[in-house]
Structure 1
């Protein structure tokens, strides 16, 4: 069944959901859906609605609500703070982080970031990639994507775990971490060029634990996804 997002504060009333803009264009002109066709509709707040198209016009598509359920608790929140990497690699990390249940994604600006000056212009694109991934994996509540922030301005979960995979760490494997205490987790991943020594020193000073992801040097996007899976497993979210 096809899936679409809508704004419940503006597009829902009296048992009907009104879809406009790009989503309506996609339904009408790309998918060529007709009255009587059904779809799943998400409001981004946890509601999952099954709707049947009642009317299609040049500017809007009207769904009749057939059923409504609410999403279950997603578990302990996980934040992925990813140093900005090259375009398609960043797109991949955002897409897969969405699928893997990351709650919040923070693009981080570090010394060796690629094209850090354009990061702020990519937010709209990243939002589109994230929403498409939500539709594909049936995720009812979208991942929050924050504005790019400098490492020194990164905020941490109160009382939670802050973890930084680092290629020079040899004494602390990820498996040694105890993350099943119900506290939020923030994972910080570096760019293609890695962290500068001063950045590692700063992270350790503010409470990050450096950990190892194994004996091989991983690409930034590989490290991000490996760390997310391990963290989600350790937190009991998988």
Structure 2
């Protein structure tokens, strides 16, 4: 667990200033989360503390850390502890919001639709409150196939798409059998649907033998001799 020691400027005060404690929590979150001065995608808000707190001045510095099991996003808290000479501790409430430009459906997308660039648009969301998956790069989705209907504006997660099937059951295919420098091509029939790189069963049209091979391209399956 990361611990940041912050030296107090209130050594001569009768009580430790509440604002000093809030600042320690904020500085800890900024450093722990790697937030820069120009950061636009992370927002940190430190909760208020009771101004009536009467804490002994902390001359040996404030230690800040996340509580055990504490969250780094959303509603969280920072554990602040005085290193001495008199020890005290408390939890400072905080809210950390993260934002990102994620891909959503630009229109209604039917099931088994192959995605193109025009099907997608970016939308800024608070990812710290989004429980599901999402994508930030169009290339990760273009060419994928929808598993279900997707409504306009819906965030497209990994559960919504799958690699596009390029071979269908019953399709006539070319079987390439290789072993070192020996390569034999023959015709066959795909017995299963499949995507690029997937292994499926295929039947040799001449011998009727069923073998398993890897889909190399649309209509092409490679098997071992």
TM class, shorter-length: under 0.3
Q: What's the TM-score, normalizing by structure 2?
A: 0.21
- Structure number with higher helix proportion: 1
- Structure number with higher strand proportion: 2
Q: What's the TM-score, normalizing by structure 1?
A: 0.20
Higher relative contact order at CA 8 Å, sep ≥6: structure 1 or structure 2? 1
